Amino acid sequence: MLEAFPPQLWNRSTAAHLLKRAGFGTSPEQLDLWTSLGLDTAVDRLVDWELTEDPTAEPDWAQPAFGYPFQNKKELQGLSEDERRELFKEYQKTQRKNSQDLRERWLNRFLTTPRPLQEKLTLFWHGHFATSIRKVKISYFMWKQLDLFRRFGNGSYENLLMEVARDPAMLIWLDGTDSNDKAPNENFARELMELFTLGEGHYTEEDVKESARAFTGWRVDRFSQTATFNPKRSDRGSKKFLGQRGSFNDQDIIRIILQQEQAAQHICTKLWTFFAYENPSPQLMEALAATFRESKMELKPLLKKLFRSQEFYSAQALNNQIKSPVQWWVSSLKNIASHSPATHLGTRILTQLGQSLLEPPSVKGWDGGRTWISTSTLMLRHNTAHYMLYGGTAAELGIGDNFKRLAFANQAKKINPEPTTVAPNTEMEEQPTPEPTTKLANKLLNRSMPALTELAQLAPPELRLDRSKLINTLSERFLQNIPDPKLSAFLENSLPQKSEPVTDQELKKLLYQIMTRPEYQLT
């Protein structure tokens, strides 16, 4: 189990597989570079990402108390109710703006980062420690949590868990801010074991109650926007937890959890499922978990073992994973050599496809796998592919409801003194529909947007003269392999049989045929 992948089998195809799973795919030119590195060097460069310079600038607003209307409670004194309401309305408007900015910046990082595994793993941790802006509400806290994942995501799992336990966004998300020695809140203690470390059936209700006492005393100061600890509100009494007794604090609880053999099994299974394939054998997971335990729960050795294993490059792993919406959108932009990151549109399409960044659907995160594809989301993928190649309107793209909700929300702000949030699944007929809103919705729905693809880069004039070479080149770029004879014949039949070069319109039709193939939905 987990024998090293033979170096002599390393080629463009296996390098492409690694870059798709440990990142979001890459261009043919960059793929040549990664292939030339060899397996070991390529994996080291991905996993040891701190050795690669990252010039990505953080947003100006990503700092404590930025945009909060009051620096302290004293500033509230002497203000009328209307003045306070107006200040908070402006603050909430700023938070919505910053949250959208954070989504767009993150989507752009997926496209441009020199550290692909860092962002892919940040996305994994975002789903693993699923925290939503809908409850947290403060964009700085969500940025801070993503930054935490980037800094600790390939290090000690124990340290990562400790940082998450004391993270302001998590304290708000799982109600740790009000947990004290008189009334311990059990939410984080339960999810820590059920979702983050052990899984159901490996702890008792008494373990939840006892460990919850160890996480008391933390609160979030919304003025300084920091997490603070008050020992007077913390329970430091004796506790019995997972068969051990002592005056345990939060760090002790995490240490005891990670001593359980199941902890390594649980996280290894989740990582393997995310990067390789579903339902790995118990024997394979035990071999991977042994590596994790031997490294004292350090993530780097685990990741390197995973990405260098024969199983990771096996037939079971290759091209059998349904692309998540993020993977589909980002890899598609890379594949079509897009001249625009289209991040604002991208965040809205991701919401429709079922993966709204900063908004996991529940504490369990996204289910993934087959849940990514339904009749409606598959149709939206097809419509989006058409838009990328041809351009179009929101109505044609199939994201009309998203723009309608935006219009209704904008109109509601004018009607109501308090900002109104329109839920993703709210029925349109339940919302107010004054004339200005209808006009705005129609304007947004019918606004024409340009195509995103760069056809000249995808298929220069000399390539358009040889249809077979054109199909093989595009198939390698979009599908990361040479198509089988039946697919090649299908694609060649989609082109007019003539001696002249393939035109732009014919090329777009060919690309659309590829992007709507079942194979393209897999990675």
- Give residue-wise pLDDT tens across range 382-410: 999 999 999 988 777 766 555 454 444 44
Quote the CA–CA distance of 312 and 305 in Å, as a whole number: 10
pLDDT value of position 429: 36
- Give residue 221's pLDDT band: very low, low, confident or very high (50, 70, 90): confident
Q: What integer is the mean pLDDT of 360-378? A: 95
pLDDT value of position 66: 65
Q: φ and ψ at 180, to 5 degrees?
A: -140, 175
With a cut of 90, say whether residue 204 has pLDDT above it.
Answer: yes
- pLDDT tens digits, one per residue of 235-265: 999 999 999 999 999 999 999 999 999 999 9
Element (H, E) at 272: helix 261-275
> What letter would DSSP give residue 192?
I
**Closest by alpha carbon to 166, among 179, 154, 153?**
179
> What letter would DSSP give residue 262?
H
Cα distances from 69 to residues 74, 78, 163, in angstroms, run: 12, 14, 28
Give me the helices (H) in 391-484, please. 394-397, 400-415, 435-445, 455-458, 467-479
Q: What integer is the mean pLDDT of 26-47? A: 96
> What letter would DSSP give residue 244?
E
pLDDT value of position 300: 98
Highest mean pLDDT among 358-362, 401-405, 413-417, 419-423: 358-362
With a cut of 60, say whether residue 430 has pLDDT above it.
Answer: no
pLDDT value of position 399: 62
- Give residue 500's pLDDT band: very low, low, confident or very high (50, 70, 90): very high
pLDDT value of position 366: 97
Do the Cβ atoms of 477 and 514 come closer than 8 Å?
no
Quote the CA–CA distance of 418 and 416 in Å, as a whole number: 5
With a cut of 50, say whether residue 415 has pLDDT above it.
Answer: no
pLDDT value of position 440: 56
Report the mean per-residue pLDDT for the chain.
Answer: 89
pLDDT value of position 88: 83
Q: In this predicted model, which residue has the larger pLDDT, 446 or 187?
A: 187
